[in-house]
Amino acid sequence: MNSYNTKIMTPKSTKVPRNLRIFLWATRIISNLIVLFIVLFLIGYTVNPQGNPTQNEIMLLILFPIGMCVGYLVAWRWPLVGGTISLSCNIIFLILKSGAGMITMVTIFGIPGILFILYEILKKRFSIGPTSK
């Protein structure tokens, strides 16, 4: 038996400050509200389709509502990965969509992706490791 009380520092053993946990939960709540809105949008789109969608419309539909929702759901477990997925889908959508009609809404819906990435950056900077006695 080892009589030494050693603890290996793993991601589960680091302590995230309370302010960052509140920041994470606020970001999760905002992203869930956006996912709820997007799901309602998708239900309305599938119930009342506007004819046969083109390949460009299908690509945009995959990027904006579906890709962003997947990113936000992944961000619940892995904030950096999910934030990157949603932000990437948002940026690609904005590049492919040339009209300015939805740009403001899509940009606002991309804010939680930025916040998830910001959380991970702040967590790495301000996390507290295990205390040694």
Task: Give per-residue pLDDT as tens, 22-48.
Answer: 999 999 999 999 999 989 888 887 787
Domain span including residue 95: 17-125
Helix ranges (H only) for the chain are: 18-47, 55-61, 68-74, 79-96, 103-109, 111-126
Q: Is residue 41 part of a domain?
A: yes
Distance CA 116, CA 27 (A): 7
Q: Compute the average pLDDT of residues 4-26.
A: 72
pTM of the model: 0.79
Number of domains in the chain: 1
DSSP classification of residue 98: -
Answer yes or no: is 5 within a domain: no
In a domain, 34, yes or no: yes
Residue with tokens 């934030």: 83
**Three-state SS for 132?**
coil
Residue 130 lies in a domain: no
pLDDT at 130: 59
pLDDT per residue over 58-115, tens digit each? 888 888 889 999 999 999 999 999 999 999 999 998 888 866 677 887 888 999 999 9
Q: Looking at the domain assignment, is residue 7 inside a domain?
A: no
Could you tell me if residue 73 is inside a domain?
yes
Any domain includes 37: yes
55: in domain: yes
CA angle 114, 57, 84 (to 5 degrees): 20
